[in-house]
Chains A and B, each alone.
Chain A
């Protein structure tokens, strides 16, 4: 049917189906700022202004907007003339992955139109429907308030470095021979050690693209002849497919291909994006005749439309033989439990007869002897749930053949090179015939560190010779993606009366679900990141990772450390309580210090390589001081009021960094252009540290950040990167090394031009100066190198490998209030003090920390994947699975404690991971402080807390 409406001021007449959503129509018409994040209106990524009112386009029929005026971010402003809101979002660092940004901007625009002077509470309410998993909402709220002030004509101080128009200025080539003579005092150009780009809060390098809604993400593409794929998943937790009949589905008009286990080779693989050789276990198949969880793959369909693909799924007839299933990780290893993986069907499974996917143990000293030498031995068991990364952008991939019949895989993966390698084995195509492109990633947090859909998409392209698009729904993100491992952690610690830890033991039983993707690495990390923070003569760690008939676990920010720190840091508080000792003093007495060896890591590492693991920088004491003072620890700790509403404070510390996979490796390529700009190709996991890496590069080259053009990751051109995180330390290190080589080449050419030795030259703000004050621009050097004598391209490629294992540190604290009548835990305030080495960009680092805290808050009080007794997930939307929105957030206080890491680029370490590690424990410690009783299981739901309170009351009464 024909629909007339106004979109961004243009009257349009569009043909729509009665059941087409507004989201679908707008994206089909190229309004890519309107994003798909869910199908229930709960995430807000699809926000559109309908007659000026922000509404979710995914739950609005296109026909409902007939005759209406629609506004999307495409009309809010453009790259040259940004709307004050867009400007403020960039300035304050409110844009991270940028996937939710368009929605936030529209919600904010509607608010400011109605209310030019909103309060912070009103801003939070206006953003309540726009979920963001990156920012923690602090900076978006700040941005809206700042934009309001700007729009009222008030003067406001910039937060980040002012915007530069440099990239938009026309380029006028200067002849290489035009050497500028000194106008200032000779010697002014002398080499200086002052940093000009590193340490500045530069604006996010791709922010303009993101705030103007440009097609920056994987799904922002529409290919001619593209087919749409949909996945049929298992309704049973454990079953064998006895018969599968796709004939009726295949006969449906518009259906091009259906793949079942009968159509694909049966090759065991591991979906984890990890370095080769893969640790295993290799226990998964593209499609298998046995399904192992509700949501497991059964068949995949490619059709002309999503509707046809959906219809086809319903016509596939599957006869299942239902098998017994096991869901409880404690029951999984019993002799009565069904086996998920047969020994002959898989490889690398630790003990298939007992459903053990992986196990690891390591010891330093002798813990049993340590316990015997202790004055007090304290034990505790802690439980952490399976939780979901829930990035707002779902998994999506688009595959096609290129003109050379190479398979192009456009995906939001965070492990592009590993995906290429795994795809090669699953498709039979050599890596040279596979090209993986990774545009912007709309939130990763580890979810996209696995091969989740790319193989199905690729095999459909092989089967149909057509471009294929496969995107998960939000429900599928929950049922068929990856999650954080649930664990049961037993702590046993021996201490002397003075608080000295003599022996510390952590035993982990972990649930990897149906497949063992990251089973070994994540659980090894649980021990390696946590126990060494309190080095003692006797340390023991063991982990047993078991299969159950639940969706598989995988990588999630912190990679095993948040589980371990919840247990360890809760336990340390319990020890302090038993010793009648201040919990912070106990930590200070035992914690790791600069110069200490990070012990136990070598024993847990996969390669057992002899990497030096000495702490060379540690800001932990300062972090703890800041958090302690911020929480008014001495005044507030241990002050139970006995009222209905009890308040408490808690603190936990964390360390993150030691690698278990051998030396970290990254590489970068840098190329000089005629105008003095540089193309930088560096492989980062999800691009979240791109700006920091560009700053490091610019600093070395003596140019501005606008001179660095960062290319989207492309396995054809971007050099290899083994790291799937977005590490400033490793990727930044590679970029720094490449930049140093390019700088040398620049100075060599410039030296010839200025008749000076390279050692006497300095580069600053794109100008190379000799000691006598004469100077030329980098652009002139480029022109000389390309068109002058000895013509050559100034460029470099460098690999970076570290034999060091730097650790970031942090202290986090929380103040909570508990309603003892209902068990509701309200987190009032969260303070984080993080030592991530030198802050390359404070605003971005703060944003990363605040985002991590928001995720930790969910882990602490509201997030948990739940199932019924048949293994059906009950939390399949963003209502039942509750992540924090803007009004939910407590007051956030974020501090960067700067140290200088000798091995890091300009002394930098990483901030993203450590900031999620300790907050859940801090909140649990605060709850224990408030109530005088500890809840040893996350999340701290009202019901769980009330049960503990009532049990406590009964024990007092009894």
Chain B
């Protein structure tokens, strides 16, 4: 129970929500699905702003980023169930994001309530696989904040002298984008997560998402996601991330860099498994996952190597297959 919660605001306008969140005298937090917030029993929270009517539940294509790449934008109030069942996301990178959303909670009830924004804001405590899926897609999170200034212009404005504007509120808005990987450190108290956006992977990319738990739908002791784009027999673009319950996802950029530009096979046909293994061996030395009640860091590190290998192998094979199909003109 949020024992000190005294105010509930049902915002109909984003600016109103931002103004409420900007208050410094009343600890105000956004209310998305509520699944984590209510379970947290946070005694500091005095007010919530319900975001359900702000039209922030969407999955949209069409926009482009600053480099001209087509973007996929997902509104922060989109539920995990919507993410898991979205036809767009099921097709995208072999369904990496849809799968990670589906696996973010073993409970359909939670997935029906929990949202993208709530999951991002909660970070590692969300125990959600979705964070790993977002990390591997180079996701940026759009954050917005607002401020207000009260002025007392009893004498009116210079252009309209004598017109009293006492108490007029001037609103200011700021918007910025941060990598989903940096959000835990970057997110400020008065900021609202508006959406997540990422460049659409090349249609020839392959994706893979894998996870392990004590039971099939248990929170992931460890999960791994990879997106690989193969072009002309070389790794064109590689994205690899590992995550798990009570840990933030980690992008294995050293592995990515070592693979990009390299041929995927030594003899031209089969995947060069040894090279992949060697690359992981050297590229994952910095992977030091934390311990959790369910598994030690040591276990996660050992198994992380295997899981990373498997997702890269699968994503690479899918991309190869997709390119083969493409070259045959199907």
Question: A residues within 8 Å of B by Cβ?
Answer: 1, 18-19, 21, 39-42, 44, 47, 53-56, 58-61, 63-64, 66, 107, 125-130, 306-307, 310-311, 819, 821-824, 826, 861-862, 866, 874-875, 879-880, 882, 884-885, 887-888, 939, 941-943, 946
A942, B310: Cα distance in complex, Å: 17
With the chains together, A55 CA to B215 CA distance in Å?
23
A822 to chain B, nearest CB (A): 5
Question: Are A66 and B212 closer than 8 Å at their CB atoms?
Answer: no
B163 to chain A, nearest CB (A): 37
Chain B contacts to A: CB under 8 angstroms: 1-8, 10, 31, 34-39, 41, 47-48, 50, 52, 105-110, 112-113, 127, 212-219, 221, 293-296, 299, 302-303, 306-307, 310
Q: Are A126 and B50 in contact (CB under 8 A)?
A: no
A61-B31, A942-B303 known; A19+B217 contact, CB < 8 A:
no
3 closest A-B pairs by CB? A129-B107, A129-B109, A19-B5
Give 7 CB contacts A-B under 8 Å: A40-B35, A41-B110, A41-B113, A63-B10, A880-B293, A884-B215, A943-B221
Contact A866:B2 (CB < 8 A) given known A107-B108, A821-B303, A884-B215: no
Q: A821-B306, A875-B293 known; A54 and B299 CB under 8 Å?
A: no
Q: Which of B47, B127, B216 is in CB contact (< 8 Å) with A879?
A: B127
On whether the beta carbons of B1 and A19 are closer than 8 Å, the reply is yes
> Of all chain B residues, which has the CB nearest A60?
B34
A residues within 8 A CB of B34? 59-61, 64
Return B219 CB to nearest CB of chain A, in Å. Answer: 6
CA gap between A28 and B172 in the complex, in Å: 43
Closest to A46 in B: B109
A866 CA to B293 CA in the complex, in Å?
7
Chain B residues lying within 8 Å of A875, measured Cβ to Cβ, are 293
Q: Smallest CB–CB gap between A34 and chain B, Å?
A: 13
**Min CB distance, A94 to chain B, in Å?**
18
Q: For residue A881, which residue of chain B has the nearest CB?
A: B293
Cβ contact within 8 Å between B50 and A63:
yes
Q: How far is it, in angstroms, between the C-alpha of A600 and the C-alpha of B288 when the chains are bound?
A: 53
> Contact at A887–B216, with CB atoms within 8 Å?
yes
How distant is the Cα of A61 from the Cα of B295 in the complex, in angstroms? 33
Residues of A near B38 (CB, < 8 A) are 21, 39, 41, 58-61
With a cutoff of 8 Å between Cβ atoms, the chain B residues found around residue A943 in the complex are: 221, 295-296, 299
Contact status B214-A862, CB under 8 Å: yes
C-alpha gap A879/B296 in the complex (Å): 17
Tell me the smallest distance from the CB of B208 to a CB of chain A, in Å.
15
Q: Which residues of B contact A823 (CB under 8 A)?
A: 303
CB distance from B26 to the nearest CB of A (A): 12
Contacts of A58 in B (CB 8 A): 38
Nearest neighbor of B4 in chain A, beta-carbon distance: A19
Residue numbers in B under 8 Å from A63 (CB-CB): 8, 10, 50
* Bound CA–CA A862/B218 (angstroms): 9
Q: Is the CB of B39 within 8 A of A59?
A: yes
Point out the residue from A56, A66, A307, A866 that lies within 8 Å of B3, measured CB to CB. Answer: A307
B216 touches A874 (CB 8 A): no
**Nearest CB of A to B214, in Å:** 4
Q: Which residue of B lies closest to A858 (CB)?
A: B215
Among candidates B5, B39, B294, B296, residue contacting A18 with C-beta atoms closer than 8 Å: B5
What A residues does B48 contact at CB under 8 A? 18, 61
Which residues of chain B are near A310, meaning CB under 8 Å? 1, 3
Residues of A within 8 A of B221 (CB): 942-943
Interface centre among B10, B48, B218 (most CB of A within 10 A): B218
Find out whether the CB atom of A306 lies under 8 angstroms from the CB atom of B5. Answer: no
Question: Given A63-B50, A879-B219, are A822 and B39 neighbors across the interface (CB < 8 Å)?
Answer: no
CA–CA, A40 and B40, complex, Å: 8
Hey, which chain B residues are within 8 Å of A129, CB to CB?
105-110
Given contacts A18-B8, A40-B39, A60-B38, contact A824 B212 (CB under 8 A): yes
Q: A59-B34, A822-B307, A942-B295 are in contact. Are A307 and B110 (CB under 8 A)?
A: no
Known contacts A128-B108, A824-B212, A875-B293; is-contact A942 B299 (Cβ 8 Å): yes
Q: Report how far A538 CA is from B310 CA in the complex, Å.
A: 53
Question: How far does the alpha carbon of A821 sit from the alpha carbon of B311 in the complex, in Å?
Answer: 13
B293 adjacent to A874 (CB under 8 Å): yes
How close is B98's CB to chain A, nearest CB, in angstroms? 14
Roughly how many angstroms separate A880 CA and B215 CA in the complex, as a whole number?
A: 12
Does the CB pair B107–A128 fall under 8 Å?
Answer: yes
Query: Are A880 and B109 neighbours in the complex by a CB distance under 8 Å?
Result: no
Q: Contacts A129-B107, A306-B1, A888-B216 hold; do A1 and B8 have CB atoms under 8 A apart?
A: yes
Q: Among B3, B37, B112, B299, which residue has its beta carbon within 8 angstroms of that of A311? A: B3
User: Chain A residues near B217 (CB, 8 Å)?
Assistant: 128, 885, 887-888
Q: Which residues of B contact A306 (CB under 8 A)?
A: 1
Q: Which of A42, A125, A942, A946 contacts B110 (CB 8 A)?
A: A42
Per the bound structure, the CA–CA distance linking A126 and B109 in Å amounts to 8
Which B residues are in CB contact (< 8 Å) with A942?
A: 212-214, 221, 295, 299, 303
Contacts of A44 in B (CB 8 A): 107, 109
Q: A18-B5, A21-B38 are in contact. Are A826 and B113 (CB under 8 A)?
A: no
Known pairs A59-B39, A61-B34, A942-B212; A887 contacts B106 (CB<8 A): yes
Contact A882 B307 (CB under 8 A): no
**Once the chains bind, are B295 and A125 in contact (CB under 8 Å)?**
no
In the bound assembly, the distance between CA atoms of A938 and B217 in angstroms comes to 20
